[in-house]
Amino acid sequence: MRTGLEGKTALVTGASRGIGKATALALAAEGANVVVSSRKQDALDAVAAEIRAAHPGARVLPKAAHVGDAEQAAACVDAAVAEFGRLDVLVNNAGTNPYYGPMVDIDAARAAKTVEVNQFAIVQWTQLAWTRSMRERGGAIVNMASVGGLVTEHGIGYYNATKAAVIHLTRQFAVELAPKVRVNAVAPGLVKTNLARALWEPNEEAISKELPLGRLGVPEDIAGAVVFLASDAASWTTGQTLVVDGGSIIRPAIA
């Protein structure tokens, strides 16, 4: 598959670990210039070093930014354009889940935090990518949704509500930014990341047995889907949400 990503510039939020880190590595493997962003500069420096070690000659810019801070977000996008001359791919990957429990009990502060990071940050970073580069040059945006945005689950209902919003934001931006920019989303199932550790670690074997593909996801499973949607191989795909979940939402309700 020819991705057409060589020499293009991609920015990945939440790139210090998990799916974001795996995505940055996968984009670098395709020859893209990569801007990695998250809150902590030292963690980003380590990721940049890992990318350069894995792909000698890779051009990587580690730039710390709180995904929900407008000024820091603008500084990060501006730094990407200043360093590489353009921004071709934006991966809105950063996410949070500060509350576990029934939605009826969630407090306003944690609800607002979940919306800020999971939902409005996508609007904010997309606006910046559009105005700083993509309005003129075009590009591709990939948002990180979740299968939780398509189903109901105990304990993470409000998180899932924001991920359902991501799916709709993806469709809306795909219409508004066409034909210059393609906008798609990936909806992972349960992936072995730190963010989801409380969901998978105590019951990994039992959960894996319930999945048609017999295992939980790893960050690289999702990174491959992101690279596809960002690439020329998906040049006639926009407004879509690609479910990558090991078959969790198609498993029979009754064995």
**Residue 64 has which token pair?**
């710390």
- Do 32 and 5 form a contact (C-beta atoms < 8 A)? yes
**Rg (the chain; Cα; Å):** 17
Q: Are 157 and 114 in contact (CB under 8 A)?
A: no
Which pLDDT score, from 0 to 100, does residue 112 have? 98
Catalytically active residues, by annotation: 159
Ranges of each domain in the chain: 9-188+218-242
- Taking the C-alpha atoms of residue 170 and residue 178, their distance in angstroms, rounded to an integer, is 12
**Residue that is written with structure tokens 């990587």 in the block:** 60
Using DSSP's 3-state secondary structure scheme, residue 111 falls into helix
pLDDT of residue 194: 75
The structure tokens listed for 31 are 């020859």
Position 202 scores a pLDDT of 76
Considering the domain 9-188+218-242 in this protein, what is its CATH number? 3.40.50.720
Answer whether 109's CB lies under 8 Å from 151's CB.
Answer: no
Distances (CA, A) of 175 to 143, 172, 229: 15, 5, 16
Q: Taking the chain (255 residues) in consecutive chunks of 10 residues, what is each chunk's mean pLDDT?
A: 94 97 98 98 98 97 98 98 98 96 98 98 98 98 98 95 98 98 97 75 82 94 98 98 95 72
Reported pTM = 0.96
